[in-house]
């Protein structure tokens, strides 16, 4: 672990290499102990990051999973769209668990407020798309970023102001375009409750980060969503509305590209996707159901069953390039323990179908193993085949949900 931590340097980003839910939260939680500042950069409560600490499950939506480490500053970046009642709820849940976060939380004033009417618009747009629906989380993400890009969003920095006029201005256009009623009273009441967050708002996040970096603080950035869901580089239009890559994380915080000293790509040992869109290596039958059951592949935000299938190496190679992964965490290796053979997508044929190579399974438990040498030979062959194909070292391997169930190489 010591060597791994040294190699990460002073600023690392944890970025999903597939379609999300790879296990980013678990790595932030583990690294949070060794870093000084824990940040999220983009996205909103469409994220669902589950970690298990001492057998207790914690689910995070807006807060980075690493926030459990007492005393460390936690940052919500400028690239985020924040549903304030959800944030208050998360803070309250932590408080109930004995963790006082408020005094060390910092929210960029440039982050946007996601209102309830954004959620209602999300639902209407999905309905209108009919058969072409994206399968969004219905958390209002697309509509909140629509307002931001349209330059009529409302930033967190305005939390203390009377926003009734701004909301009234929305009423007509939102009704005309989407048939959605903005409940001004309810929105204002939610804003009022959220005023408790006002002392936690940072006027200029880049300045704060500059000071932190100059004083030698180490920063870990928890990515949300994942590369194949990126607005520019993902499987458009079946993507989210933010930049989910390492570059997006830096942009979302206001950090210069050269600040990043390492980037950990998080990839499941197989693959899942929630929502619609291509998934070349998907298993829709019995095999897919088996992976879903073993991996507990049900969305933590929506409870939807995740689609399941196999790794697709061309996607991982592409993700590694886009993000500049310096290391990979292959997660949920234990989920494959009972498989006789493990197919891996190695290319795409002229008809657009995935070309598969079958590797031998290990058919023995890897649950909780923390020493690479103790893994069954076929599991090591599997890992080394992937590593060689991608050209990035697999330095972390997940063997269970728990914080301690991780191999570090």
Interface with Mg ion, residue 21, by CB under 5 A = yes
Q: Is residue 25 a contact residue for ligand GDP (CB under 6 A)?
A: yes
CB of 175 to ligand IMO, least distance (A): 22
Q: Which residues lie below 8 Å from residue 35, measured CB to CB, with a gap of 6+?
A: 12, 66, 72, 218, 219, 220
**Contact of 242 with 248, CB cutoff 8 Å:** yes
Where in the sequence numbering do the catalytic residues fall? 21, 49
Give which of Mg ion, ligand GDP, ligand IMO, none residue 262 binds (C-beta under 5 to 8 Å, depending on kind).
Answer: none
The CB-of-193 to ligand GDP minimum distance in angstroms stands at 27
What is the nearest approach in angstroms of ligand IMO to the Cβ of residue 243? 12
The span of 4-12, 130-138, 188-196, 397-405 binding ligand GDP (CB under 6 A) equals 397-405
Residue with the shortest CB distance to ligand IMO: 275
* Window 280 to 299, contacts with ligand GDP (CB under 6 A): 296
Which partner in ligand GDP, Mg ion, ligand IMO, none is near 399 (CB below 5 to 8 A by kind)? Answer: ligand GDP
Shortest approach of ligand IMO to residue 274 CB, angstroms?
4
State which residue, 284 or 370, has the beta carbon closest to ligand GDP.
370
As measured in angstroms, the least distance from the Cβ of 24 to ligand GDP is 4
Q: Return the residues of window 177-236 that contact ligand IMO according to CB under 6 A.
A: 224-226, 229
Q: Which is nearer to ligand IMO, 45 or 390 (CB)?
A: 45
The answer to whether residue 23 forms part of the interface with ligand IMO (CB under 6 A) is no
> Considering beta carbons, is residue 59 or 163 the nearer one to ligand IMO?
59
Nearer to ligand GDP, 134 or 224 (CB): 224
* Residue 48 makes contact with Mg ion by CB under 5 A: yes
Q: Contact positions toward ligand GDP, by CB under 6 A? A: 16, 20-26, 48-50, 52, 296, 300, 331-332, 334-335, 398-401
């Amino acid at each position: 672990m010591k060597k791994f931590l040294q190699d990460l340097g002073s600023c690392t980003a944890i970025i999903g290499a597939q379609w999300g839910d790879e296990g980013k939260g678990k790595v932030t939680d583990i690294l949070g102990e060794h870093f000084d500042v824990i940040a999220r950069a983009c996205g909103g409560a469409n994220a669902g990051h589950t970690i298990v600490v001492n057998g207790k499950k914690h689910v995070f939506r807006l807060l980075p999973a690493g926030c459990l480490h007492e005393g460390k500053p936690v940052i919500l970046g400028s690239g985020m769209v924040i549903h304030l009642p959800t944030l208050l709820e998360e803070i309250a849940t932590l408080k109930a668990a004995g963790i006082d976060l408020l005094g060390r939380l910092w929210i960029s004033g440039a982050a946007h407020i996601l209102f309830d009417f954004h959620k209602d618009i999300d639902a209407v747009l999905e309905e209108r798309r009919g058969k072409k629906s994206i399968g969004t989380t219905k958390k209002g993400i697309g509509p909140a970023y629509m307002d931001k890009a349209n330059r009529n969003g409302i930033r967190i920095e305005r939390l203390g102001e009377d926003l009734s006029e701004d909301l009234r201005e929305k009423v007509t256009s939102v009704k005309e375009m989407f048939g959605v009623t903005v409940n001004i009273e309810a929105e204002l009441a939610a804003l009022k409750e959220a005023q408790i967050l006002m002392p936690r708002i940072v006027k200029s996040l880049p300045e704060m980060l500059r000071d932190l970096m100059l004083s030698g603080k180490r920063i870990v950035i928890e990515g949300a969503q994942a590369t194949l869901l990126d607005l520019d580089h993902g499987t458009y239009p079946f993507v989210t509305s933010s930049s989910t890559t390492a570059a997006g994380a830096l942009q979302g915080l206001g950090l210069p590209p050269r600040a990043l000293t390492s980037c950990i790509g998080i990839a499941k040992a197989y693959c899942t996707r929630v929502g619609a869109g291509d998934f070349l290596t998907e298993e829709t039958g019995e095999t897919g159901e088996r992976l879903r059951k073993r991996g507990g592949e049900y969305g933590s935000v929506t409870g939807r069953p995740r689609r399941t299938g196999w790794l697709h190496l061309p996607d991982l190679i592409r993700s590694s390039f886009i993000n500049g992964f310096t290391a990979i965490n292959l997660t949920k290796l234990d989920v494959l323990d009972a498989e006789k053979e493990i197919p891996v997508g190695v290319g795409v044929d002229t008809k657009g179908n995935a070309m598969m190579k079958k590797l031998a399974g290990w058919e023995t438990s890897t649950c909780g193993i923390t020493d690479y040498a103790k893994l069954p030979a076929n599991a090591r062959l599997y890992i080394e085949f992937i590593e060689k194909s991608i050209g990035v070292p697999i330095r972390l391997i997940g063997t269970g949900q728990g914080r301690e169930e991780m191999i570090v190489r």
